[in-house]
């Protein structure tokens, strides 16, 4: 395997999750319509949300359980991101683990459950490229 290039998540309401993702991470979608929205990070990693219809509805369920893992993303300023997301709590059904906390390996992070139930770890890394340094 060379790299992880993209993440695709099923959603019953693509416009809603795209609006939340745009506001939470201050990132405009590269493409967006009622059935598909794609966000491209500066690293070129793509995060997409789609409405399962047709053949994809046989393989993906928008209402599937999502509590078995978390998606990790790195931001430049985890405290500012936490503040932005906290301000969205009245407009979107989300859960936050609390304020960002420091970890012994150098990252600072908090956990977020988005309106679709996806779990995210939002972190700030001490390295310039946002990736975890070798320990």
Here the CATH number for the domain that contains residue 105 is 3.10.180.10
Banded pLDDT at 69 (limits 50, 70, 90): confident
Q: Please give the tally of structural domains in the chain.
A: 1
Question: What DSSP line would sit under 85-100, residue for residue?
Answer: HHHHTTTS--EE-SS-
**Does residue 60 fall inside a structural domain?**
no
Domain span holding position 118: 6-50+69-124
For the cut 80, the answer to whether the pLDDT of residue 132 exceeds it is: no
Q: Is residue 29 part of a domain?
A: yes
* 56 domain-assigned: no
Q: Per the domain annotation, does 63 fall within a domain?
A: no
Q: Are residues 39 and 46 in contact, defined by beta-carbon separation less than 8 angstroms?
A: yes
The verdict on residue 95 lying in a domain is yes
pLDDT of res. 134 = 58
Cα–Cα distance list, 120 to 2, 25, 59, 71, 78 (Å): 23, 12, 23, 5, 13
For residue 33, pLDDT beyond 70: yes
> Does the residue 62 lie in any domain?
no
55 domain-assigned? no
Strands 95-96 and 36-40: what pairing? unpaired
Q: How far apart are CA 57 and CA 77, in angstroms?
A: 37
Residue 58 belongs to some domain of the structure: no
Per-residue model confidence as pLDDT tens digits over 109-122: 999 999 999 999 99
Lowest mean per-residue pLDDT among 47-51, 90-94, 124-128: 124-128
The pTM is what?
0.87
């Amino acid at each position: 395997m060379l790299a992880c290039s993209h993440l695709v998540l099923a959603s019953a309401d693509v416009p809603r999750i795209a609006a939340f993702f745009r506001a939470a991470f201050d990132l405009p979608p590269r493409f967006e319509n009622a059935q598909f929205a794609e966000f491209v990070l500066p690293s070129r990693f793509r995060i997409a949300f789609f409405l399962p219809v047709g053949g994809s509805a046989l393989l993906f369920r928008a209402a599937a359980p999502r509590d078995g893992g978390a998606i990790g993303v790195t931001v430049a300023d985890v405290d500012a991101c936490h503040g932005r997301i906290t301000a969205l709590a009245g407009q979107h059904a989300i859960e936050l683990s609390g304020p960002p906390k420091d970890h012994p390996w150098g990252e600072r992070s908090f956990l977020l459950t988005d309106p679709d139930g996806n779990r995210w770890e939002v972190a700030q890394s001490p390295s310039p490229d946002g990736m975890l340094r070798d320990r």
